[in-house]
Amino acid sequence: MGGLTEGAETVAVHSLWLIFPGAAWEIASVWALLVAVSGAHRILAGYRYLR
């Protein structure tokens, strides 16, 4: 799951906001969840690596 919210995915999300401005808050909510999951995964992976 490392890298779930990087590069191309970010471009896709920004494109979706431009194509579907009426659904911006739904897109932002899903994106925020994915960023949080990705961040938590990286923290956990870093902890395990350094342990």
pLDDT value, residue 4: 60
Per-residue model confidence (pLDDT) at position 46: 92
What pLDDT does residue 39 have?
87
Please identify every stretch of the chain with a pLDDT value under 50, giving residue numbers as ranges: 1
Q: What is the pTM of this model?
A: 0.75
Question: What is the structure's pLDDT at 7?
Answer: 76
Residue 2, pLDDT score: 56
In the numeric block, which tokens belong to residue 50?
A: 């350094």
d(CA 39, CA 35) in angstroms, rounded, equals 6
The Cα 4–Cα 33 span in angstroms is: 11
Local structure of residue 4 (DSSP, 8 states) = T
